[in-house]
Amino acid sequence: MVPRTLLLLSGTLALTQTWEGPHSLTYFHTAVHGPGGEGYRYTVVGYVDDSEILGFDSNTPRPRLQARMQWMEQLWEEQGDTPFWEEHTREIKLNEHISRDNLNRLRAHYNQSEDGSHTWQEMTGCVVRSKGSFLRGFSKFAYDGTDYVALNEDLRSWTTSASEISWNNVVRVPDADVRRVFLEDTCVHWLLQLLEKGKGTLLRADPPKTQVTHHPTSDHEVTLKCWALGFYPADITLTWQRDGEDLTQDMELVETRPAGDGTFQKWAAVAVPLGEEQRYTCRVQHQGLPEPLTLRWGEKRMWAQSLSSGCP
């Protein structure tokens, strides 16, 4: 987006020490060129931390910015077509045209036919500390899933991952200084006000529902799975231990996954000899827990909550 200093809410924002950070505002842009030039589509998704707050889809009957959370919908109803919504939509549509042009330029540069499907993606955002001061910013682009050009850490120049020295003659990206101002100023301003407006949802800490399940795999071995469901934010640590020693290299750990209801889920598994299950414990660390939780197969803990019968 082109940087602009916009006001989302009126009044002065007062940060407090209870805003544990860091916090981030991130925009994901994706432009797709369908086979034969058909099916061009441009989408944008905005996140504050792990929560999707807004979206845009060029394939809708009336493309415009859409709120993705109830408090954002209330903000829309309260403020209507204010500069925040109008300017976001205008800049998104401008970026849509630039992205389409970049796709066409790249296909021509690499001598690619109309028959293939190609994508041009952008991830841009800022991160603030607990007290609301700027911590870092980032902006990078990818073509067909491969990194193409990224803003350097000092936010003052671009570096390309492509082999061409003249990459800037192939694609259009914002001036580095313009993007830096957006990241350090406008993005931070929006993020802090979004955190204030949506603090009841964005700054919550839902503890995980946890349980260890037991799965025989042979006559002499079983698999223990440590489950964590329904937690927010997404940052969580599950670690299996044997007699108090970490088994990081010996356990199977899945990526944290969205549950579809605004919360997240995760599990970690370890294979253990049959009859030695009590030597193994799962340690769970999460912002919503008063202290790290230690789980053992068959052992109940005061704040450990049973999973639904749908879990294997």
**Residue 78: which pLDDT band, with cuts at 50, 70 and 90?**
low
Do the domains at 23-203 and 209-295 have one common CATH topology?
A: no
Q: What is the spatial distance between Cα 24 and Cα 135, in angstroms, rounded to a whole number?
A: 10
| Per-domain residue ranges of the chain | 23-203, 209-295
> Which amino acid, residue 264?
F
Tens digit of pLDDT for each residue in 153-193? 999 999 987 765 567 788 999 999 999 999 999 999 889 98
- What pLDDT sits at residue 124? 97
Q: What is the DSSP string of the chain?
A: -------SSSS-----TT--S-EEEEEEEEEEE-GGG---EEEEEEEETTEEEEEEETTSSS---EE-SHHHHHHHHHH-S-HHHHHHHHHHHHHHHHHHHHHHHHHHHTT--TTS-EEEEEEEEEEE-TTS-EEEEEEEEEETTEEEEEE-TTSS-EEE-SS-TTGGGTS----HHHHHHIIIIIHHHHHHHHHHHTHHHHT--BPPEEEEEEEE-SSSEEEEEEEEEEEBSS-EEEEEEETTEE-GGGSEEPPPEE-SSS-EEEEEEEEEETT-GGGEEEEEEETTSSS-EEE-TT---TT--PPPTT--
Q: What is the spatial distance between Cα 294 and Cα 224, in angstroms, rounded to a whole number?
A: 14
Task: Quote the percentage of the chain above a pLDDT of 90.
Answer: 59
83 has a pLDDT exceeding 80: no
13 has a pLDDT exceeding 60: no
Question: Per-residue pLDDT averaged across 208-226, rounded?
Answer: 95
Higher pLDDT, 10 or 223: 223
67 has a pLDDT exceeding 90: no
Q: What is the spatial distance between Cα 192 and Cα 182, in angstroms, rounded to a whole number?
A: 14
Higher pLDDT, 303 or 81: 81
**Residue 4: which pLDDT band, with cuts at 50, 70 and 90?**
very low
6 has a pLDDT exceeding 80: no
Listed range (78-87, 155-164, 197-206) with the worst mean pLDDT:
78-87
CATH of domain 209-295: 2.60.40.10
Question: Per-residue pLDDT averaged across 6-17, rounded?
Answer: 33
Asked if residues 212 and 297 have their Cβ atoms less than 8 Å apart, the reply is: yes
Question: CB-based burial of residue 167 (10 Å sphere; 0-12 exposed, 13-18 middle, 19+ buried)?
Answer: middle
Question: Per-residue pLDDT averaged across 10-29, rounded?
Answer: 64
CATH of domain 23-203: 3.30.500.10
Q: What is the spatial distance between Cα 206 and Cα 284, in angstroms, rounded to a whole number?
A: 14
Asked if residues 171 and 148 have their Cβ atoms less than 8 Å apart, the reply is: yes
Backbone angles phi, psi at 48, to 5 degrees: -110, 115
Tens digit of pLDDT for each residue in 94-128? 999 999 999 999 999 888 887 889 999 999 999 99
- What pLDDT sits at residue 48? 94
